[in-house]
């Protein structure tokens, strides 16, 4: 196969972001409203073109910063700053996924603590955190009584894949701590698991499990009562990235 520069079709390459966070006991994703056709006015995942001199991860980190102000947590830097976790998710390249032209989108998954408020070009009405079930639900009516409009393009598929990745990855990695602030309690971490998996977990067994898994959590010495009740010990994420043995997601 000789390399004739005119022998291959040109593609547009974009990055799309599945940005997940946990708010009010629910797993939420960042959605932005489209300002132009196609799918004008519909909600979509944030994203944009990859620039000529950019790596894919750089492009994703840039888009993440533009949309949320979050700095991406560089996996090469072991320091746990307040940056978000960012990883490549999958690539979507159906010839008809964008009606205008051939676009290949490299989707990325970002996990962030609750804190940041969305900002899309400074216009808050064009960006929001929405529960993923709401964004993924098909047909019917939302909580506000409005009919549910599906996400633009194939973004429902991308979001679904991102959520599934997050759900499975917190089983065997310490990724759930990416949803937490730098210091957090065991109960806060448990509520992350409960929100992402959509289940209730036994606080006693959960406490035993996470504090007994080497490298998962390191106590900071401090305590907090911000959740009410008895003061809870504060922890930071330990160095371990792979949990052994893994957390077990309850069946069915």
Partner DNA sequence: AGTGTTTATCGTCAGGCAGACGACTATGAT
Partner DNA sequence: ATCATAGTCGTCTGCCTGACGATAAACACT
Report the relative pairing of strands 72-73 and 84-92 from DSSP bridges.
parallel
Residue 237 touches a copy of itself, criterion: CB under 8 A: no
Q: Is 151 in the site for a copy of itself (CB under 8 A)?
A: no
Confirm or reject binding of residue 233 to DNA (CB under 7 A): yes
Count of residues touching DNA (by CB under 7 A): 26
Size of the chain in residues: 252
CA atoms 157, 163, 165, 168: torsion sign: negative
Q: Does 115 bind DNA (CB under 7 A)?
A: no
Give the three-class secondary structure for 49: strand
Which of 41, 55, 115, 164 forms a contact with a copy of itself (CB under 8 A)?
Answer: 55
> Hey, what are 58's tokens?
């750089």
111-148 residues labelled b (16+ CB within 10 A) or e (exposed): bbbeebebebeeeeebbbbbbbebbbeeeeeeeeeeee
Among 48, 116, 150, 187, binds DNA (CB under 7 A): 187
Is beta strand 217-224 parallel, antiparallel or unpaired with respect to 232-237?
A: antiparallel
Residues 62-121 that bind a copy of itself (CB under 8 A): 88, 90-95, 100-102, 104, 106
Binding site for a copy of itself (CB under 8 A): 1-3, 5, 7-13, 36, 48-56, 88, 90-95, 100-102, 104, 106, 244, 251
Binding site for DNA (CB under 7 A): 185-188, 190, 202-205, 207-209, 211-212, 223, 225, 227-233, 245, 248, 250
């Amino acid at each position: 196969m000789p390399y004739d520069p005119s022998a291959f079709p040109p593609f547009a390459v974009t990055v799309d972001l599945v940005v997940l966070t946990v708010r009010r006991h629910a797993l939420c994703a960042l959605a932005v409203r489209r300002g132009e056709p196609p799918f004008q006015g519909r909600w979509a995942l944030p994203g944009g073109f990859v620039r000529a001199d950019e790596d894919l991860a750089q492009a994703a980190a840039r888009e993440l910063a533009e949309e949320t102000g979050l700095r991406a947590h560089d996996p090469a830097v072991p320091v746990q700053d307040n940056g978000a976790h960012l990883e490549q998710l999958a690539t979507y390249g159906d010839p008809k996924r964008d009606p205008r032209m051939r676009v290949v989108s490299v989707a990325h998954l970002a996990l962030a603590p609750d804190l940041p408020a969305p900002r899309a070009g400074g216009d808050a009405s064009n960006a929001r955190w929405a529960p993923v079930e709401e964004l993924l639900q098909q047909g019917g009516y939302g909580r506000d009584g409005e009919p549910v409009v599906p996400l633009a393009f194939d973004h429902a598929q991308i979001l679904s894949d991102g959520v599934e990745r997050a759900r499975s990855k917190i089983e065997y990695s310490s990724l759930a701590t990416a949803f937490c602030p730098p210091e957090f309690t065991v109960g806060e971490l448990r509520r992350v698991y409960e929100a992402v998996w959509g289940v209730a977990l036994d606080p006693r067994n959960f406490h035993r499990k996470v504090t007994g898994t080497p490298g998962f959590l390191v106590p900071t010495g401090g305590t907090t009562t911000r959740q009410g009740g008895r003061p809870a010990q504060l922890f930071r994420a330990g160095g371990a990235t792979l949990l052994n043995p893994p957390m077990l997601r309850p069946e069915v």
